[in-house]
Amino acid sequence: MEIVPLSLKQAQGFVAQHHRHNKPPVGHKFSLGVMVDGALVGVAVAGRPVARALDDGRTLEVTRTCTDGTPNANSKLYGAVTRAAKAMGYKRLVTYTQADETGASLRASGWKAQAALAPRAGWSCASRPRNDIGSSNIARVRWEIYFA
């Protein structure tokens, strides 16, 4: 398995084709891919935290990972994003899984479950109407990893 840099457009295309429940993210700080025998088998997208309270300038969020099912590809991506973020000077990474997902790839990469989040109706409100992006009414777990 080889880690490679990706453009946002490349990562978005892979997510659009392979992700089972989320749409491609709209922005990023950086994206990485994992290749096997010259074929892209997974992507990870890292960007500013979606939650404003976490956006302190030293925290980065993994907004999407997606693989074609290749064993260990997701763990490889989380490890690569963790190393890259640390090298860039970030102090913390966060990401979210649905409550029914195991988080095995995150645990394998040193992440810890930090909070169980109740389902919320969605991001849309009267002052800023938004379309559902597939995460409404789903319980989630916030995962974090800190760097010294």
DSSP letters of 73-101? HHHHHHHHHHHHHHHTT--EEEEEEETTS
Q: What value does the mean pLDDT take over residues 6-23?
A: 83
**Tokens encoding 3:** 């880690």
Alpha carbon distance, N-terminus to C-terminus of the chain: 28
* Average pLDDT over the chain, rounded to an integer: 87
In the predicted model, is pLDDT for residue 122 greater than 70? no
In the predicted model, is pLDDT for residue 136 greater than 70? no
In the predicted model, is pLDDT for residue 140 greater than 80? yes
Q: What value does the mean pLDDT take over residues 122-143?
A: 73
CB 121 within 8 A of CB 137: yes
Band of residue 87 on the pLDDT scale cut at 50, 70, 90: very high
List pLDDT tens digits, range 18-59.
Answer: 876 667 677 789 999 999 999 999 999 999 998 889 999 999
Q: Are strands 92-98 and 140-146 parallel, antiparallel or unpaired?
A: antiparallel
pTM for the model stands at 0.83
**Tokens encoding 12:** 């978005």
CB 15 within 8 A of CB 64: yes
Q: What value does the mean pLDDT take over residues 94-98?
A: 89
Domain that holds residue 87: 2-146
pLDDT for 20 equals 64
Question: How many folded domains does the chain comprise?
Answer: 1
Here the CATH number for the domain that contains residue 72 is 3.40.630.30
